[in-house]
Structure 1
């Protein structure tokens, strides 16, 4: 099993946070998949690996549960920022974190040494052209460091989200 780690939750996402200095094994895709497996591993939406950076106060590698590496994650960055403060890696309320998708500023609101809010500057969203999925369903690609698909509908209750999701994925 892995060395020391912490599990955090943020807005419906859960991540495991590792510090590169505490890692006792190579964080290869197969290891990430096994650790993130909710039935046989610890279970999580991904792994955050705090690393050193020459360009920012800290570096962060973000792994998806399939073992691939993401460029950015808003919730992941917020979790990492709180982790860094809570584990005495910084005492700053504003600091920079380098990701594969660029450098992000983290802003902590601290009251009596407790982090009560974290926000991150994700940068400007890149919006692509809308594509028609079917009659009445348009999909707009939006990238904020990691790709998203935005679907506008008149009645959200009339949409079979898993079906639309599978169609977008293909």
Structure 2
């Protein structure tokens, strides 16, 4: 299984999964960018790496396509959980995963032909304290606070679900608009660790539609951590019920927010391909 990879997607958000013990190239920023590039590599929204840990059943590193490392990814966690289950690493349908954003409980809810199809992940606790998100604010929590860009401004709401999120409520959602402003908000000085950005439109107390600009990746069809952050913020602001659906261009996720702000997410994952890094690509990565 040397240099073996699996490529899967969660609602159109796709990742490569590798075992750190089975690859013979370094995961440098340059190599991560190359592997994730659709023209020079395999193409992916990121790389999920199985690593050793003494904090949980399995350890996970989440690498963004720009070479940076993410604390947590809801779609990434479900994809990683499917990989662990499908390829025999996990000996039960329920197990724990250690991430930079904390230890996560994962459970295979539905199987198809012996493979995981629907996976539930406990995403941890929503944190609203501004200094823990982190976001620079004069208030204890960043809610409906004005963020100024050179040509416009937005009312922002910030929360951490193991990684930082900036949520902007909109009457109408525009892909062109979030693509235009996403990078400017992500890299705004107000956010010490940069930030993920979501435009959100409340459809009903049980349904919210969102668009996503993902830190380190750009415009993204779907994101589990973004869905978790939006769901928690909608409950915080009293705009939805605690059990709700988040709809994205890539599909829908089910979210549950309990009284202690613990988040549970459920959604499908599908494998796209599996294979081996070619000798020529490995030569390029090791040159």
Give the corresponding residue for 1:87.
Answer: 87
- Cα deviations across residues 68-93 of structure 1 (Å, max 9, x unaligned)? 11111111110000000100111211
Q: Does 1:142 align with 2:159?
A: yes
Alpha-carbon separation, structure 2, partners of 1:47 and 1:55: 21
Paired residues, number: 169
Q: Note the alpha carbon deviations across 1:104-138, whole angstroms, 9 max, x for none.
A: 00011244633121111111122341321368831
Q: Which moved more, 1:122-131 or 1:154-163?
A: 154-163
1:31-83 C-alpha deviation (Å, 9 max, x unpaired) = 11111112211111110000121111100011011111111111111000000
Residue 65 of structure 1 corresponds to 65
The corresponding residue for 1:124 is: 125
Gaps (5+ residues) in structure 1? none
Residue 31 of structure 1 corresponds to 31
Task: Provide the secondary structure at the position in 2 that maps to 1:5.
Answer: strand
* Alignment partner, residue 114 of structure 2: 113
CA distance in 1, matches of 2:61, 2:13: 16
CA distance in 1: counterparts of 2:175 and 2:96, whole angstroms: 42
Whole-angstrom distance in 2 between the partners of 1:136 and 1:156: 16
TM-score (norm 1): 0.89
Q: Which moved more, 1:127-136 or 1:108-117?
A: 127-136
Higher relative contact order (CA 8 A, sep 6+): 2
Does the Cα contact within 8 Å between 1:108 and 1:119 map onto a contact in 2?
A: yes
2:82–2:117: 8 Å Cα contact kept in structure 1? no
Q: Determine whether 1:160 maps to 2:154.
A: no
Which residue number corresponds to residue 195 of structure 2?
none
| CA displacement at 1:156 relative to structure 2 | 2.8
Mapped to 2, the partners of 1:159 and 1:153 lie a distance apart of 14
Runs of 4 or more consecutive aligned structure 1 residues displaced over 4 Å after TM superposition: none
Three-state SS of the structure 2 residue aligned to 1:160 is helix
Match of 1:142, SS state, is strand
Counterpart for residue 99 of structure 2: 99
1: distance between equivalents of 2:179 and 2:108?
A: 36
